[in-house]
Copies of this chain bind each other. A is one copy, B any other.
Amino acid sequence: MDKPTVHDIAKEAGVSLATVDRVLNARPGVRTKTIEKVRAAVTRLGYVRDTSAANLSRRRAYRFVFLLPEGSGQFATSLKHAVREASRSQIADRVAVDVHEVPTHDPHAIVRALMRLNSDALDGVAIMAPETPQVRDAIVRLKEAGTAVVALVSDLPNAPRDNFIGIDNNAAGRTAALIMGRFLAKSGEILVLTNSMRSRDSLERRLGFDTVIASEFSGQSVLPSIEGFEDPERIRCIVRDVVTNRPNLVGVYSTGFGTTPLLEALRSSGRLKDLVVLAHELTPTTRRALLENEIAAVIMQDVGHLVRSAMRILRAICDDIPIFDAQERIRIEVILRENLPAA
């Protein structure tokens, strides 16, 4: 009736506890035939290892590093905050997390940060960074040293990362397009502000957006992307320019960072209330803009979920246990003024 333990397995298989242990932990010195006997007993009794007891016994401690974009961006800040919060919860039981900040726009700095990581004192890494050949090489090295690696927010599909934790950015762009198309009362031009076309997530969002607008809202035309490069002044400048020269502008889609200067520029142009504005990520800026009806909708991913997911997945990889996908799928959330989560 009770959950079977290793002792039960030993009895059932007609072997000693030591042998069961050797089999369960893949230690050498057991005949294939004996291994089979133990395996059979395990399935027959439906044994599942008690992870907490196991971790207690082996004094397991997980050491994880989060490699996040440095600086004051609101999204990055909330990510860091989420990491801190998660490390104080039950999920972070027996795990020590370090956050390393790197300037995202500098590929060398990212690689340097990756190289600095000491695989001996490390069990897993969660990386949010654009993919470059050097980054890929650094990840190969980490993997070879036996470190678990997951990509966060922006995928690194050509690197041997164990997992990607984030939304399907193409679908996010498509979703934004659908909302934009249906919210727009009249047809005209749509401005897309991206972070940088080098970063995979921005690119995919733009692609998805264009596809849906083209196929379903052919009355609308999408202007070439503006790259913000995280430079507020640059963004303000360009946006002002577009607003002045494009009287036919009806919508704006901000795919990444830079929503704050964007809104500033639009606000001062006096045309903000006539435009349908969509942005990504719920930050103090976008929250306020939603409440003021300046932004129609925000596409977001739950950073708390993102971080907790990363921790659970890193643990699962370290322990070589299966990942519970349903729990880890990051949703593309659509936030309107009325379903704004409590601050």
Interface residues in chain A, defined as those with a beta carbon under 8 Å from any beta carbon in chain B: 50-53, 55-56, 85, 89-90, 93, 171-172, 174-175, 177-179, 182-183, 185, 208, 212, 296, 302, 304, 308, 324, 326-327, 329, 331-339, 341-342
CB atoms of B337 and A334 under 8 A apart: no
CB atoms of B338 and A326 under 8 A apart: no
CB atoms of A52 and B178 under 8 A apart: no
CB neighbours of A333 from chain B (8 A): 331, 333-334
| CB < 8 Å neighbour of A326 from B175, B304, B329, B336 | B304
Best-buried of A53, A336, A339 by chain B (most CB within 10 Å): A339
A208, B327: Cα distance in complex, Å: 30
| CB < 8 Å neighbour of A85 from B178, B326, B335 | B326
CB atoms of B93 and A338 under 8 A apart: no
Instruction: Look across to chain B and name the residue whose beta carbon is closest to the beta carbon of A167.
Output: B339
Report the copy number of this chain in the oligomer. 2
CB neighbours of A90 from chain B (8 A): 51, 324
A335, B208: Cα distance in complex, Å: 17
CB atoms of A53 and B56 under 8 A apart: yes
Best-buried of A50, A93, A326 by chain B (most CB within 10 Å): A326
Given A56-B52, A93-B52, A182-B183, also A342-B329 (CB < 8 A): yes
Q: How far in angstroms is the closest Cβ of chain B from A158? A: 23
CB neighbours of A302 from chain B (8 A): 331
Q: How far in angstroms is the closest Cβ of chain B from A187? A: 13
| CB < 8 Å neighbour of A339 from B53, B55, B85, B334 | B334
